[in-house]
Structure 1
Amino acid sequence: MAEEQHDEQLQTVMGLIINGGNAKSSSFEAINAAKKGHFTVADQKLKEADKFLVDAHNSQTDMLTKEANGDHAKVTLLMVHSQDHIMNAITFRDLAGEIVDLYKKLAKEGE
């Protein structure tokens, strides 16, 4: 039983890391697309980042629900890293949205 919980927790934590990394990568791709004036691609990449963050958020919510129900997870360095990864991805996504908007504004002013 304990082995199953460990495996499930490891799978969740790795999913958080993967989704966080993917969200950050998509956000960076959005900035690069906007920099080139490809605003449709930039918007698509921001939406893609949002999807990865929703997946991560759902995993976090599942972990929080289990914790609230008394199923306490063992806090490991990997779990802490996964949470850090998600927080950085969220921050980077927010900043990428602002940068894309700025590039759009600059392009409109240059018309």
Structure 2
Amino acid sequence: MQDEARMQVVMGLIMHGGNAKSQAFQAIQLAKSGDFEGAQAAIDEADKSLKEAHDVQTDMLTQEAQGNHTEVDLYMVHAQDHLMNGITFRDLAVEIIALYRKLAEN
């Protein structure tokens, strides 16, 4: 993969992973204030961001499968870290929102 194309992949993963994490955090804050519809909307946005990141990653894996090796450097590791943090934060946000819902019911 060319340097410019690789950096676009890296930046896409960082951007979309970071967006997902921010949207998941926003969802928690909305649930904390009792806005469960808003919280779900923010989770939906996080899911869209994660899909975008997944699409970027799938393109990278397709290139690799076609014999176009992708150099794994600190940028790529950093990008994958952002993506994994976004995924983890989104998953935890869903659980935290469920807890806030239970508290609101009582």
Same fold per TM (> 0.5)?
yes
- Asked if 1:68 is matched to 2:65, the reply is yes
- Asked if 1:52 is matched to 2:49, the reply is yes
Residue 36 (structure 1) aligns with: 33
- Asked if 1:91 is matched to 2:88, the reply is yes
Q: Which residue of the other structure, out of 2, 6, 9, is the alignment partner of 2:3? A: 6
Q: Distance in 2 between matches of 1:12 and 1:82?
A: 9
5+ long unaligned stretches in structure 1 = none
Larger Rg: 1
The percent identity for this pair of structures is 58
Moved over 3 A (4+): none
Give, in angstroms, the shift of residue 76 of structure 1. Answer: 1.4
Q: Which residue of the other structure, out of 16, 22, 26, is the alignment partner of 1:25? A: 22
Give, in angstroms, the shift of residue 68 of structure 1. Answer: 1.2
How high is the TM-score relative to the length of structure 1?
0.92
- Alignment RMSD (CA, Å): 1.0
**Corresponding letter in the other structure for 2:47:** D
Q: Distance in 2 between matches of 1:12 and 1:86?
A: 12
Give, in angstroms, the shift of residue 105 of structure 1. Answer: 1.3
- Number of residue pairs the alignment of both structures matches: 106
